[in-house]
Structure 1
Amino acid sequence: MRIGLQVPSFTWSNEQETLGDTFALIAERAERAGFFSLWVMDHFFQIPVIGPVEHEMLEGYSALAFAAGRTNRIKLGTLVTGVTYRYPGILIKTVTTLDVLSHGRAYFGIGAAWNEEEHAGLGVPFPPLAERFERLEETLQIAHQMWAGDEKPYQGKHYQLARPLNAPSSVQKPHPPIMIGGMGERKTLRLVAQYGDACNFSLMRLKQGELAHKLNVLREHCQAVGRPYSDIEKTTLGPIKLTRDGRDNSFTPAAAIAYFRNLAEQGIDQALVNMPNVADLEPFELFANEVIPAVEQIEVAGR
């Protein structure tokens, strides 16, 4: 089993000029600790579940490019890009650039978008949900076409590309893994089965037993389109505050290992975590010395 780190907040101190130094240190510590991947949200305003909307929020791909320059092995992705934020051809070019310059470390995280406030705030059109899903499917089609090197015109309902040229091509073949965010059973998980390489389930939004149900729905969609269920990387996202002694209702290393083992037993390949104490050294030392070595030995059910 693998563990990834999501960094959803950049508010660590009142000294904004040190923000980049702290983020670089987090990326470097995550790689040294053995985290498989590093993720940032693709939002322009902070989201309410994390903090006040006025809190610092870095643009996702600039932040990942910066992190790529400070690391060598850790995978890099947005969790996830809203389909409305960028024209699809430009978006694929952006992800390809990250993949090329990082020597093949990019994920392509994409979803239907939801945060109307930041759309209105920055003047980005926010179409109805049904249209956003139509745009998401067209963007996924464009991504596959561009990464296949197919330059013929793309004619969709919402997007028309006269020549979807993508040079240089991605380092990862056939393309960077496509993670489709969201847990909707009728549309999102169908798109995962048809176009995706990875999915993500937010544990904070799931009730007891719902994860197993969502995985079964994904399995059914894979069967319907003739796709091996094992082709899809199953990931989760949840918060963990890790300390040596479990103070303040935090996880001890033993409790964290048990948490990850439970997810692996349900068929989760990679558990993504965010940490309230991510700017501290202590959790990275515990992940490096105790948690990640143990979790890497855990077999994922169904593999």
Structure 2
Amino acid sequence: MRLRIFTEPQQGASYETLLSVAKAAEALGFDAFFRSDHYLKMGEVSGEPGPTDAWITLAGLARETSRIRLGTLMTAATFRYPGPLAISVAQVDQMSGGRVEFGIGTGWFDAEHTAYGIPFPSLKERFERLEEQLEIITGLWRTPAGETFSFEGAHYALTDSPALPKPAQPGGPPILLGGLGAKRTPRLAARYADEFNVPFCQVDDTRAAYERVRAACQEAGRTKPMVYSAAQVVCVGQDEAEVKRRADAIGREVPELRQNGLAGTPNEVVDKLGRLAEIGTECVYLQVLDLSDLDHLELIASKVLDQV
């Protein structure tokens, strides 16, 4: 099982903080550094010094790291037009030497759209836009050199695009889709995704989401393997006092984290990772909420990572 570090910078983190976490994650042997794509803090935190843009951040990290993979959980389709987004992601992939993974979703946080003047259409329209974006972005990346790409949809139209630049990875970075939707999400995953992610769910609900996507893949006649992954809040301590100290630092209760996340001693966390592995989870995104606590990453690397 691969373990990846997943951050939520909108809660309050500068680029320098994210760089320190990404470099630590790389040095400690984690598989990837991912970040959310949000422009507004959530909950009772200040959010200072303010939001950072996901793809600008990843462009910087692409030049300041060398091995670790980089990506988003999840880029909001509402934030950017698909053509410029395809250019940005392709450029960051080039800048990283082919280490980018592209997570994208509908966008869901109404308040951040209102705060920064971004239109927030209905859920139906957001899914329509997401599907068109997926078709456009993959079409641009996969158009043979020297040919052009055109598209006519309900929300976007492209005419004779040169479909440049190309990503470093042939065909484009791996595409991640996720969520708990019963119909549209599995259908889109079966058609477009290289990886399907279930965020912040208990094992049984994660299994059910995987099964819906597996059924959609079978119905679509898909033969390409799908990577199944999960995202979980992580809170690990050598003993109960250290677990509680870390839970307090992120404003959470230990019993709730044990039930809904990866919390407890290293052995407890390894056991839950084992249960996730049993249902087919190949990769887990560890949501690290206290970005100042690099000792936390060192503990996970030394006591958990080596066991999985």
In which range does the TM-score fall when normalised by the shorter chain? 0.7 to 0.9
What TM-score, normalized by structure 2, do the two folds share? 0.87
TM-score (normalised: structure 1): 0.88
Structure 2 residue 125 is the aligned partner of structure 1 residue 131 = yes
**Structure 1 stretch 53-62 or stretch 70-79: which is displaced more?**
53-62
Equivalent residue in structure 2 for 1:216, among 208, 211, 214: 211
Residues 121-180 of structure 1: per-residue CA shift (max 9 Å, x gap): 211111111111111111111122111125231111110011333333111122100111
Q: Which residue among 3, 15, 20 is the counterpart of 1:25?
A: 20
CA shift, 1:2, in A, is 0.3
For 1:278 and 1:200, how far apart are their aligned partners in 2? Answer: 23
Shift of 1:11: 5.4
Identical aligned residues as a percent: 33
- CA distance in 1 between counterparts of 2:271 and 2:202 reads 19
1:175 paired to 2:183: no
Q: Of Structure 1 and Structure 2, which has the larger fraction of its residues in strand?
A: 2
Pair 1:213–1:56, CA change in 2 (3 A):
same
**Aligned residue for 2:68?**
74
Q: Indicate if the aligned counterparts of 1:149 and 1:169 stay in contact, CA closer than 8 A.
A: no
Structural RMSD (CA): 2.0
Range with greater deviation from structure 2 (85-94 or 170-179): 170-179
Structure 2 SS opposite 1:286: helix
Structure 2 residue corresponding to 1:156, chosen from 153, 156, 177: 153
Q: What displacement does 1:32 show?
A: 1.0
More deviation in 90-99 or 145-154?
A: 145-154
The offset of 1:53, in angstroms, is: 6.3
Distance in 2 between the 1:184 and 1:233 partners? 18
Q: After the TM superposition, which residues 226-245 of structure 1 pair with which residues of structure 2 at under 5 Å, given as runs?
A: 226-228=221-223, 231-245=225-239
Paired positions, count: 286
Q: 1:145 to 1:127 in 2, by over 3 A?
A: same
- AA aligned to 1:161 is L
Contact 1:2 1:269 in 2 (8 A): yes
Task: Pick the aligned partner of 2:94 from 78, 92, 100.
Answer: 100
Ranges in structure 2 where 5+ consecutive residues have no aligned partner: 245-253, 255-262
Describe the shift of the 1:276–1:120 C-alpha distance in structure 2 as closer, same or farther (beyond 3 A): closer
- Counterpart for residue 259 of structure 2: none
The one-letter amino acid paired with 2:306 is P
Quick one: structure 1 residues 211 and 181, their matched pair in 2 at CA, closer, same or farther if it must change by over 3 Å?
Answer: closer
For residue 3 of structure 1, report the CA deviation from its aligned partner. Answer: 0.6
Relative distance call for 1:236 and 1:172 in structure 2 (3 A) is same
Cα distance, 1:71–1:210 mapped onto 2, change above 3 Å: same
Task: Identify the range of structure 1 (252-261 vs 82-91) with the bigger mean alpha-carbon deviation.
Answer: 252-261
Per-residue CA shift, 1:16-53, capped at 9, x if unaligned? 8xx333221111000111111111111111133x8456
Counterpart contact for 1:199–1:232, Cα < 8 Å: yes
Secondary structure, aligned partner of 1:163: strand
Counterpart of 1:263, as a letter, is: L
Unaligned runs of 5+ in 1: 296-303
Q: Is the 1:109–1:178 Cα contact (8 Å) retained in structure 2?
A: yes
Q: CA deviation at 1:281?
A: 2.8
Instruction: Please give the secondary structure, in 1, of the residue aligned with 2:161.
Output: coil
Show the counterpart of 1:291. 304
Q: Deviations over 1:86-144 (max 9, x none)?
A: 00011111110110000001111111111111112211111111111111111111122
Corresponding position of 1:260: 273
Q: Distance in 1 between matches of 2:293 and 2:64?
A: 18
